[in-house]
């Protein structure tokens, strides 16, 4: 019988580094340093990490310094914005690094999935990582297990920190302590004492935007004008856009108030934020700081924004201050601007019914010029001024009666209580069906009846809410009308675009070219 003999052949190649076992080739080593904030103490820590690992790597004879990769003021919960980290991984995968050393697992990543995915990818390319604090070498047989545990702990720590920070923010909100990104709000800045103060130069731009809007311009046309004027946007850009102007027009901070928690973080790992649509509480602070825009003017702008954005209404052009302000007495359509002789010295702008030539029968109302519109407005305005005492008295009466919302608010409370009762009945109905055996047809009939009852009450409730908002908006509009009228004791001789925007609802033109100016108080003056 032949005797078996087994001879062991020692490994000559390191399975991790792919180099000869007895190789004296130096390992190319890189360090990674990161701090999550730009606070002064963190900056010191950041510099210390860089200095430490530079000297540490260069002090080893068997190591070759491959550089220090850094991320300053970046969170470790996600690798997307960590440019230094991504560059280091790319260099490692390209064969420029053999070993990466860093302070701890939490410096590397606080996201377990990101941490393990990156480590395994590096491992496949024979790149080892060393976490000094935990003394973990990823090529070690127990390295991945320890790394999984420590990464999970780091992620949990990040979650706990995020919750504590969120709680702190919400506590400050509940206490009415206002803080926001000043760089994104034109006209307001942080004062020496930490309070909000008005930047007077920037405030002029804010006032211009609100004035132009009330004069009839659209957010887009305002943006074009600001760009042409060479004014920087809140973000420091040369070009404005309509969305920026629209946000400014609806920013309550310009009237001295502050709505807190407009957005909230939905994922602490991805740092995703979402517009608050009722998921978490909001806090409204009135009179928090000096106003740039008078509250009454701000409220009027909100009414106008809502009016222009209403569904099923003709698109508001805002080409000029007279857009959507001149109405055809014959068909009820708006007048639009037309340019005659656009390329010669006889160029002029006229306004005529947009549906004048639509269909088989054309409107007989004539066109009007800007000069005629302005003349009609000045004449009608002077009529108001001469009778302003009586008009103002009547408007006060209208505000007290027509704009009174007491009865509507009482009905709103009753409807709200009824909805709560129906919700409780519905919940009881569902719970009872879950507990006891009953005829499902009877149950469905009862359930559908409750749902129908709720929807009916809710529909009425929504109508009441809309009616209250309309009356309150009308109340504010009339208030501004009174203020404007009281300021003018003498007849006007020149056209004022701001007065036109705040006083006139529309002008109606009939077939004989007679014009009736309808003011925002509902009164009409024929001129």
**What is the tens place of the pLDDT at every residue in 417-444?**
999 999 999 989 888 888 888 888 888 9
Q: Which range among 65-69, 92-96, 122-126, 137-141 shows the weakest confidence by mean pLDDT?
A: 137-141
**What is the tens place of the pLDDT at every residue in 28-38?**
999 998 776 54
* pLDDT over 90, % of the chain: 19
**What is the tens place of the pLDDT at every residue in 47-58?**
787 888 888 888
pLDDT of the residue at 15: 47
In the CATH hierarchy, which fold is given to the domain comprising 182-308?
Answer: Hect, E3 ligase catalytic domain fold (3.90.1750)
- How many residues are recorded in the chain? 527
Q: Beta-strand (E) ranges in 213-363?
A: 258-260, 263-267, 272-275, 283-285, 326-328, 335-340, 348-353
**What is the tens place of the pLDDT at every residue in 138-181?**
887 776 677 777 666 666 665 665 555 555 555 555 555 556 66
May I ask the CATH class of domain 326-526?
mainly alpha
pLDDT of the residue at 71: 82
Mean pLDDT value of segment 214-220: 79
Which CATH number applies to 27-162? 3.40.50.1390
At 268 the three-state DSSP class reads coil
Res 269 pLDDT > 70: no
Residues of the chain with CATH 1.10.287: 326-526
Contact by Cβ (8 Å): 203, 292:
yes
Residues of the chain with CATH 3.90.1750.20: 182-308
Res 460 pLDDT > 90: yes
Q: Give one DSSP letter per residue of 84-129, joined into a string.
A: HHHHHHHHHHTTS-SEEEES-HHHH-S-HHHHHHHHHHHHHTT-EE
Mean pLDDT value of segment 119-140: 85
Better pLDDT: 525 or 499: 525
Residues of the chain with CATH 3.40.50.1390: 27-162
- pLDDT band for position 16 (50/70/90)? very low
pLDDT of the residue at 42: 47
Burial class (CB in 10 A: 0-12, 13-18, 19+), 445: exposed
- pLDDT band for position 449 (50/70/90)? very high
User: Could you give the maximum distance between any two Cα atoms of the chain, in Å?
Assistant: 133
The label of the residue with tokens 């006889």 reads: 346
Ranges 40-49, 167-176, 274-283, 376-385, most confident: 376-385
**What is the tens place of the pLDDT at every residue in 73-109?**
554 444 556 788 889 999 999 999 999 998 877 777 6
- pLDDT band for position 41 (50/70/90)? very low
């Amino acid at each position: 019988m032949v005797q078996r003999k087994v001879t062991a052949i020692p490994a000559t190649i390191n399975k991790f580094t792919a180099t000869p076992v007895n190789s004296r080739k130096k390992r190319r080593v890189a360090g990674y340093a990161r701090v999550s904030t730009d606070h002064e103490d963190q900056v010191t820590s950041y510099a210390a990490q860089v200095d430490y690992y530079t000297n540490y790597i260069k002090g080893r004879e068997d190591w070759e310094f491959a550089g220090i990769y850094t991320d300053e003021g970046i969170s470790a919960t996600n690798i997307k914005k960590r440019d230094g980290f991504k560059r280091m991984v790319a260099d490692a995968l390209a064969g420029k690094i053999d070993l990466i050393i860093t302070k701890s697992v939490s410096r590397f990543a606080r996201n377990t999935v990101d941490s393990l995915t990156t480590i395994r990818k590096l491992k496949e390319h024979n790149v080892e990582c060393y976490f000094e604090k935990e003394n973990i070498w990823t090529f070690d047989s127990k390295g991945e297990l320890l790394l999984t545990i420590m990464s999970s702990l780091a992620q949990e720590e990040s979650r706990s920190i995020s919750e504590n920070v969120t709680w702190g923010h919400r506590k400050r909100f509940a206490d009415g302590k206002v803080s926001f990104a000043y760089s994104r709000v034109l006209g307001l800045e942080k004062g020496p004492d930490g309070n909000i103060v008005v930047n007077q130069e920037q405030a002029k731009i804010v006032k211009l935007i609100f004035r132009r809007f009330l004069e009839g311009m659209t957010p887009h046309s305002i943006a074009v004008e600001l760009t042409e004027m060479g004014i920087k946007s809140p973000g420091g850009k040369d070009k404005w856009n309509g969305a920026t102007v629209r946000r400014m027009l609806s920013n309550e901070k310009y009237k001295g108030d502050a709505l807190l928690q407009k957005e909230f973080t939905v994922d602490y790992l991805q740092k995703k934020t979402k517009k608050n649509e009722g998921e978490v509480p909001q806090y409204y602070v009135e009179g928090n700081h000096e106003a740039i825009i008078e509250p009454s003017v701000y409220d009027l702008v909100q009414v106008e924004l809502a009016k222009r954005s209403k569904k099923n209404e003709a698109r508001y052009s805002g080409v000029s201050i007279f857009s959507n302000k001149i109405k055809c007495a014959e068909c009820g359509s708006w007048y639009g601007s037309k340019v005659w002789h656009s390329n010669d010295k006889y160029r002029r702008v006229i306004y005529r019914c947009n549906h004048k030539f639509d269909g088989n029968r054309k409107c007989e109302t004539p066109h009007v010029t800007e000069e005629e519109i302005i003349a009609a407005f000045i004449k009608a305005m002077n009529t108001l001024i001469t009778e302003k005492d009586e008009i103002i008295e009547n408007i006060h009466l209208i505000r007290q009666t027509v704009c009174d919302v007491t009865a509507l608010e009482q009905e709103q409370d009753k409807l709200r209580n009824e909805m709560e009762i129906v919700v409780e009945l519905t919940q009881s109905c569902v719970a009872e069906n879950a507990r006891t055996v009953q005829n499902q047809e009877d149950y469905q009939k009862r359930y559908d009846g409750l749902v129908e009852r709720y929807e009916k009450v809710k529909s009425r409730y929504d109508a009441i809410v809309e009616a209250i908002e309309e009356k309150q908006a009308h109340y504010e509009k009339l208030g501004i009308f009174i203020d404007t009228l009281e300021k003018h004791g003498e007849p006007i001789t020149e056209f004022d675009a701001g007065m036109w925007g705040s006083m006139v609802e529309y002008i109606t033109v009939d077939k004989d070219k007679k014009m009736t100016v309808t003011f925002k108080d509902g009164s009409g003056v024929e001129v």
